[in-house]
Amino acid sequence: MSVSAARTAAWSDAHRPQGAAEAGLPIGTSGSHPVACTPVPLLHVDDHCIVAVKPAGLLSVPGRGAERRDCLAARIQAGHADALVVHRLDMATSGLVVLARGATAQRRLGIAFAARAVEKCYVAIVDGLVADDAGEIDLPLIADWPNRPRQIVDRTCGKPSLTRYRVLDRDGTAGRTRIELTPVTGRSHQLRVHLQASGHPILGDALYAPPAVHAAADRLLLHATALRFPHPASGTPLGFESAPPF
């Protein structure tokens, strides 16, 4: 990892194009597979947006097949039928997610993501002792088509991808580092691939960590800890925090 010339405090992420489910199609029951009724923690609810804490192991949006209908969107829509997804977290990742209430709010939040006016921060525990206290990882990423959903570094055809990081703590005895991550771009699996490519895979990562590092935790140790965005109606800056459960 190379240290950036100056530490950057701004947290930002790029907007990802969304599919039919993310665009707000109704999500409820499907045949003999109703969605789970287990609620998710809500940190904020108003007439225009909802901020939730997604648990690890829960899809953000429905997967393929009736048995994969249970997801964050469905659980929130069970109590707030107008909730629409704007962005998402990987199934294995936990943490903060904002949902829009209604198409107008969804469009405005989507514009904010596209303009990188949304600031996000994550905390992870990675294998090994990260040498530099702060820096950035600038490696282009592309889908590994024969091995989907994996992504890989591709310096020729990959899309520009930038992650900034700051070390929070080093555990010399266990050989682990707690690290704060700021994705400047928002590629699929960006944080996971960047850390793996830098020699510090995230503990519990079933896709990118070697077997011993995968087995070192019972879940992916990656949590979206901070989220800041302009309110979709008033434009007032909102900020939320969620402590990692590890």
Annotated active-site positions, please? 90
**What are the backbone angles phi and psi of residue 244, rounded to the nearest 5°?**
-65, 140
Contact 202, 192 (CB under 8 A): yes
CA 207-123-220 angle, to 5 degrees, is 30
Q: How far is 142 from 197, CA to CA, in rounded Å?
A: 13
| Dihedral sign for Cα atoms in the order 16, 17, 23, 29 | negative
Q: How far is 74 from 28, CA to CA, in rounded Å?
A: 6
125: exposed, middle or buried (C-beta count within 10 Å: 0-12, 13-18, 19+)?
Answer: buried
> What is the secondary structure of 119-138 as a DSSP string?
EEEEEEEEES--SSSEEEEE
